[in-house]
Amino acid sequence: MIDIKLIRENPELVKENIKKKFQDAKLPLVDEVIELDVENRKTIQQMEQLRADRNRISKEIGGFMAKGMKDEAEKAKAKIAEFTEEQKQLEAKQAELSERITKIMMTIPNIIDPSVPIGKDDSENVEITKYGEPVVPDFEIPYHSEIMEKLNGIDLDAARKVAGNGFYYLMGDIARLHSAVLSYARDFMINRGFTYCIPPYMIRSNVVTGVMSFAEMDAMMYKIEGEDLYLIGTSEHSMIGKFIDTILDEEKLPYTLTSYSPCFRKEKGAHGIEERGVYRIHQFEKQEMIVVCKPEDSPVWFDKLWQNTVDLFRSMDIPVRTIECCSGDLADLKVKSYDVEAWSPRQKKYFEVGSCSNLGDAQARRLKIRIKGKDGNYFAHTLNNTCVAPPRMLIAFLENNLNADGSVNIPEVLRPYMGGKSKIEV
């Protein structure tokens, strides 16, 4: 959510930003907010004047009583009663105006960074850099679930009976590999100075609306029936929520956290959920990175975060590339975003395995995460990035480490987490 002062002072900038995101239907919202804001501030002024008048008359009552002017005192009391009723009406009006303004403001997209490429959708995202040499072996690479099945590592049929499509059972060495990757990612991030956290897996609605847009919320979140609780779609949600309504000490920043959690997503509107595969699923686990920092430091932390993911994948000999999301592919709260994509030898192309985002002060403004500075309080900047998210990450791992005989090599960095094994064999 952007600062309403920006809309008051520079509405054309806000409108131009909406156009860059190809959301022209939202353009009238800017003028609507301006009109509502004028009415809201006028109502607040009326409330303040009414309060001042009521206080003044209240003080006069004592004087009237002291002088024996009972009629005047009763008239004053009647006037205060009138003011009290009018005050209630103004308060109700102001609350309604404020709610309408907030609701609209939460749909107006954040101001994107000037460096973001302009484009309508993900087809216009821009490749930044490749890391590692993509290799296509001289033998056919099976579909990832077939690789897992040959290694007795997955049971999708049983999962469908138990939970439906989009779920899985991982077993044996594949399940162990899944846990090994997460443990390695945890230690990798701890070694880079991040504090390890395990957050709540459910959050309240005020946190949900604080960390994401309404459209994302509807497409992703599972609601707990009868309670004000949602299952998290990523630990970013509860990790940023950790700082809700707080004033942070400037000298203690930045907060750099790495968190583990299961993640649950409806994937509403998603296409191509493959019954045999684990590419797009309703339940997975993830190691995440979160940074809360001063505004001037967020661009530097953005580059550090996506580089961490690149380094992690390269340490396991998986070729990757970074893609900058264009304006039309950015979620409304994001200022700038990179996707990290891993090489798929089977598909002979890259696919997304992580996403790094700078959200500016959008989440902090919604959740009231402020920094105590020398010249007053100001809003923090928040960033997040996927460190690793198996089982999708396992697809890249298995394809890039598969041998012709169906066995899978274990990179040296993962062997301590796999009991010293150098290979998973059929």
What is the DSSP track for 352-388?
EEEEEEE-TTHHHHHHTEEEEETTEEEE-EEEEEEEE
Token pair recorded at residue 283 = 């339940």
Q: What angle do CA 283, 317, 407 make, to 5 degrees?
A: 75
Query: How many C-beta atoms surround the C-beta of residue 402 within 10 A?
Result: 21
Q: Tokens standing for 299?
A: 């661009």
Give tens-digit pLDDT for 332-389: 999 999 999 999 999 999 999 999 999 999 999 999 999 999 889 999 999 999 999 9
Residue 406 is classified by DSSP as S
Helix (H), strand (E) counts: the chain: 13, 18
Q: Distance (Å, rounded) from C-alpha 347 to C-alpha 159? A: 26
The pTM assigned to this predicted structure is 0.90
pLDDT beneath 50, residues of the chain: 271-275
pLDDT given for residue 186 in this prediction: 98
Domains and CATH numbers, the chain: 4-105 (1.10.287.40), 122-424 (3.30.930.10)
Q: Specify which residues 293 forms β-bridges with.
A: 381
Each residue's pLDDT tens digit, 64-73: 777 778 888 8
Residue 53 confidence (pLDDT): 84
Q: Which residues contact 36 (CB under 8 A, 6 or more apart)?
A: 97, 100, 101, 104
Give me the sign of the Cα torsion angle 188, 193, 196, 197: negative
pLDDT at 330: 95
Q: Is 402 helix (H, G, I), strand (E, B) or coil?
A: strand
Q: Using CA atoms, how far apart are residues 149 and 155, in angstroms rounded to an integer? A: 7
At 76, which amino acid appears?
A: A
pLDDT at residue number 276: 57
Alpha helix locations (H) across 67-155? 70-105, 144-150
pLDDT number for residue 275: 43
pLDDT of residue 274: 46
* Distance between CA atoms of residues 83 and 88, nearest Å: 9
